[in-house]
Structure 1
Amino acid sequence: MPETQRNIASFSSAPNGWRVAIADTRDKELIIAPIVGWACLTSDAPYAHMGDGDLDPLVLWNNLNDPFVSLLSQTLDDWGSGSDKGRHHVHEILPPEHEPSQVPEGWSVRT
């Protein structure tokens, strides 16, 4: 499957403390990841699944021995292929010092 190309028109770093909560419907957990910046994509690029905004968060995936930064929309597209289609979606964008709201009963929160 060919990758969707995303062209960044401009970038702004995010103030400390912004995070995204991604819902994983199969494992029943919210995955919390820090937002390190906001990218304004070119007009023909797809956007993150969080409304009609024209900004796409850049997220830090601080994996042990393999940290990387990616566009949130690209990550959701990559995770949503094959049998995992529809498994992940943005639950909410978290401003500094806010915790996830309306966590579904029985779900865990992974930071």
Structure 2
Amino acid sequence: MPDTLPVLVLSTCPDEASADAIALALVEERLAACVTRIPGARSTYRWQGRIEHATEIQLLIKSRVTVYGALMKRLTELHPYELPEILVVEPRDVSEPYLRWVNEQTPDR
């Protein structure tokens, strides 16, 4: 199995309970090698014609391209938002030991 570069998937959650449930499910199901939760993110956005403000939990989901389709499907199923943020960032470079670890944690499906 060739190693593939990891991806960083960004998503936000409304509370700790949903963030914890999503993080646990994605790691248990081997769709993510790691999910970092950063509380206290403050978002301002336009939704249904109004400007909204929300305090959210920012998720940093470390995965890889070969499982991204399954990750996106599962994240959408688990997420409490009608329109969850799912933003993928591809790194320009990554350390070899970290690359190996991410690939070991997220096997091809």
Q: TM-score normalised by the shorter chain: which range applies?
A: under 0.3
Question: What's the TM-score, normalizing by structure 1?
Answer: 0.27
User: Whose relative contact order is higher, 1 or 2, with alpha carbons under 8 Å and at least 6 apart?
Assistant: 2
Question: What's the TM-score, normalizing by structure 2?
Answer: 0.28
The higher radius of gyration belongs to 2
**Greater per-residue strand proportion:** 1
**Greater per-residue helix proportion:** 2
